[in-house]
């Protein structure tokens, strides 16, 4: 029986070591004159993500591609790092934000 493993949030040919995705939302609350909650709603939600891997990456800062599966909206890559050492493979990491309601 074959087994499979690996990270499925990023597709491509490079080796992905880790992917972190955080979905956050800001809320606005209305309080009545007696101090109780009368209404609450999400005003803005967004995704922040970071990806680490081995090899080279084609993702660049300011790009709109490279987000993990499930991150929606307008994508902005904010940070890209590439590194090399003598005793290990070339590695990279990048992070960004997905603004769910932006176009």
Q: Domain ranges in the chain?
A: 15-99
25-64 residue pLDDT tens? 988 999 989 988 888 888 889 999 999 999 888 889 988 8
At residue 87 the predicted structure's pLDDT band, cuts being 50, 70 and 90, is confident
Residue 5 is predicted with a pLDDT of: 58
Burial grade of 48 (CB within 10 A; 0-12, 13-18, 19 or more):
middle
Residue 3 is predicted with a pLDDT of: 43
Residue 12 is predicted with a pLDDT of: 67
DSSP string, 47-68: EEEEEEEES-----TT-S--PP
């Amino acid at each position: 029986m074959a087994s499979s493993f690996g990270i499925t949030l990023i597709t491509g040919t490079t080796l992905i070591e880790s992917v972190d995705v955080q979905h956050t939302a800001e809320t606005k609350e209305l309080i009545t004159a007696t101090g109780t909650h009368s209404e609450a709603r999400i005003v803005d939600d967004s995704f922040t993500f970071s990806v680490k891997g081995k090899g080279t990456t084609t993702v660049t800062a300011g790009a709109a591609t490279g987000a993990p599966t499930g991150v929606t909206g307008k994508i902005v890559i904010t940070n890209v790092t590439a590194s090399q050492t003598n005793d290990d493979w070339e590695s990279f990491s990048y992070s960004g934000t997905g603004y769910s309601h932006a176009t």
